[in-house]
Chains A and B, each alone.
Chain A
Amino acid sequence: MEASQGGDSFDSIIIGCGMAGLAAGIRLAMYGQRVVILEKHNAPGGLNSFYFLGGRKFDVGLHAVTNFVEPQGRGTPLGTLIRQLRLPRDAFQLCPQAGSRIAFPGVDLRFNNDFSLLESEVARAFPEDIDAFRKLRQVVLEHDALNLEAKPLSAREVVSSHLGNPVLADMLFCPLMYYGSAREHDMDFDQFVTLWKAIFEEGFARPLEGVRVVIRALLDKYRSLGGVRRMKCGVRRILLEGDKATGVELENGEVLQASHILSTAGWAETKVLCGSERSDPQVRANIGRLSFAETISVLDGEPRQLGLDETIVFFNDSERFHYEQAAEPFDLHSGVICVPNNYCYADGESLPEGILRITGIASHALWTGFDEATYQAEKAAWFPRIVESALRFVPEASPDAVQERTVFQDMFTPRTVEKFTSHFGGAVYGAPNKSKSGRTEVENVYLAGTDQGFLGIVGAMLSGISMANKHILMAKQ
């Protein structure tokens, strides 16, 4: 359209082949742009990828696709996404969860993809607070979280102004923070609303074959529209002329030119690509402080036989829930248990083996500071502690029985996260402050993905779509 012809010149360059980059690429290619997606790694998916180990396929990131609705109707993020990408309704082959739980000392709240279960659980466990809870829900449903120009607002302040009970507030924050907050202790109210809807109002689902089904659907669509993708192709820097970008220089020295650059690398990461130092205070202030580790146990049999019959359990063992950087390698006080077997797969299909994943907050500084031998030894030492600690919240499941039935195990740490996402600090959810408008200091460089601030897999794809629409497709021709 606007850029000149030639092999090294594009209308748009997209940095990062994750969910946001692929969705943006589909939109731009659909409307005739010459577009290239550049990815540092050999695997697509970014934060939500997969890998092969010991003859098995494992998902990274994805516990659940949130925002699940059926049918994918009016005004829902999933419905909008399917339409904007012109995908068939069942492209992601999503199957709903069996049921999940928030487990705090002495109190549980069960929830599933039907909001009425959570509401009745709150009424049962917190009878004095049910009216306040209903009022809070009304506020959430009436809030426009998609206003890209909105000012940040503390979710803790809004929630505590309605809910006097700090335990109930913490229980509601726990899953929302674990599934998307880049900030310690608090989150932006827009993000609270987005995640509330994604998790409590809509819900969890998963394809039988995991995240690669979603990635494959996006890759096939992008390819069919003529989009170009270059893997193992890291960007060394964004080339600037005055306050405009002219293109990128790749790590192999090659130069690609483009009229627009959409970066999913992250806010601080993109600023560094544009020439700032990593030591720049503005860069340092926007490096996320939260990273995660996860244990993955492969079991020879259905997890439900071992007492693990829920999809996701968010747990916390302390009086208050502390969502903050870990002081030890792994914070055993809270976390998330995920059993991918416990989705209602179609036609009675099931996973070939049992899988138990336990995720919690981990220290990036400590895990990246270990030498290789210590790193391996620490992983081996933490693994059983993490499993034992989490299973306190599933009394039917004994850690010994789980250990006995474990035929294979793996663990990822903040070091792994940093390697695969290239996010500074291994910060899975990116920068504490988001750029909702997607604008940067450079007029034709835009952000999409994690640091633009839409959350979850569906949110990431909508971020790519919205930023491609707003900054590139709607731009004056």
Chain B
Amino acid sequence: MTKEDCKKVVLDIISEIAPDEDLSDVQPDVRLRDQLDLDSMDFLDIVMELRKQFGIEVPEEEYQQLASLDSCADYLTPKFKEVRA
């Protein structure tokens, strides 16, 4: 999985959690919270969906790694490789 695939996965999850958000123009280097109406409960759901759909665990102390699409890609891409291996 490439970093671009990884961003796509995160956007797909957000569209499931928050179907009323416009995701057509999300800036990868800007905090998701600053451009979308997402709160801490929504971030919990992103984590829960990663676990449910891909078996990826994100410990609570590492939630901040999911702040932007770029940081998600940096943090999650190696994890996707691990679970695939």
Q: Do A and B bind each other?
A: yes
Looking at the assembled complex, report how far the CB atom of A461 sits from the nearest CB atom of chain B, in whole angstroms.
Answer: 13
List B contacts of A42 (CB < 8 A): none
**B60 interfacial contact with A, CB 8 Å:** yes
**A31 interfacial contact with B, CB 8 Å:** yes
**A384 interfacial contact with B, CB 8 Å:** no
Binary contact track A57-85/B, C-beta < 8 Å → 1, others 0: 00000000000000001110000100110
For the complex, give the distance between the alpha carbons of A473 and B52 in Å: 11
Number of A-B contacts (CB under 8 A): 29
For the complex, give the distance between the alpha carbons of A31 and B51 in Å: 9
- Whether A474 and B60, one on each chain, are in contact in the complex, defined by CB atoms closer than 8 angstroms, is yes
A81 and chain B: residue at smallest CB distance: B41
**B17 interfacial contact with A, CB 8 Å:** yes
For the complex, give the distance between the alpha carbons of A86 and B39 in Å: 15
For the complex, give the distance between the alpha carbons of A8 and B48 in Å: 26
Other-chain residue from B41, B42, B52 in contact with A32 (beta carbon distance below 8 A): B52
**A165 interfacial contact with B, CB 8 Å:** no
Looking at the assembled complex, report how far the CB atom of B46 sits from the nearest CB atom of chain A, in whole angstroms.
Answer: 12
List A contacts of B44 (CB < 8 A): 469, 473-474
Interface positions, chain B 14-38, Cβ under 8 Å from A, are 16-18, 20, 37
List B contacts of A89 (CB < 8 A): 20
**A305 interfacial contact with B, CB 8 Å:** no
**B74 interfacial contact with A, CB 8 Å:** no
Looking at the assembled complex, report how far the CB atom of A35 sits from the nearest CB atom of chain B, in whole angstroms.
Answer: 15
- Whether A80 and B20, one on each chain, are in contact in the complex, defined by CB atoms closer than 8 angstroms, is no
Other-chain residue from A31, A73, A84, A477 in contact with B41 (beta carbon distance below 8 A): A84
- Whether A83 and B17, one on each chain, are in contact in the complex, defined by CB atoms closer than 8 angstroms, is yes
A84 and chain B: residue at smallest CB distance: B41
Interface positions, chain B 55-71, Cβ under 8 Å from A, are 57, 60
List B contacts of A32 (CB < 8 A): 52
- Whether A84 and B20, one on each chain, are in contact in the complex, defined by CB atoms closer than 8 angstroms, is no
Interface positions, chain A 428-477, Cβ under 8 Å from B, are 465, 469, 473-474, 477
- Whether B45 and A84, one on each chain, are in contact in the complex, defined by CB atoms closer than 8 angstroms, is yes
List A contacts of B52 (CB < 8 A): 31-32
A82 and chain B: residue at smallest CB distance: B20
Given contacts A80-B39, A80-B41, A84-B41, contact A473 B48 (CB under 8 A): yes
Interface positions, chain A 26-46, Cβ under 8 Å from B, are 31-32
List B contacts of A84 (CB < 8 A): 41, 45
Looking at the assembled complex, report how far the CB atom of B66 sits from the nearest CB atom of chain A, in whole angstroms.
Answer: 15
List A contacts of B48 (CB < 8 A): 31, 473
- Whether B20 and A469, one on each chain, are in contact in the complex, defined by CB atoms closer than 8 angstroms, is no
A-B pairs with beta carbons under 8 Å apart, 23 shown: A31-B48, A31-B51, A31-B52, A32-B52, A74-B37, A74-B39, A75-B37, A80-B39, A80-B41, A83-B17, A83-B18, A83-B42, A84-B41, A86-B16, A86-B17, A465-B41, A469-B41, A469-B44, A473-B44, A473-B48, A474-B44, A474-B60, A477-B57
Chain A interfacial positions (CB closer than 8 Å to B): 31-32, 73-75, 80, 83-84, 86, 89, 465, 469, 473-474, 477
Chain B interfacial positions (CB closer than 8 Å to A): 16-18, 20, 37, 39, 41-42, 44-45, 48, 51-52, 57, 60
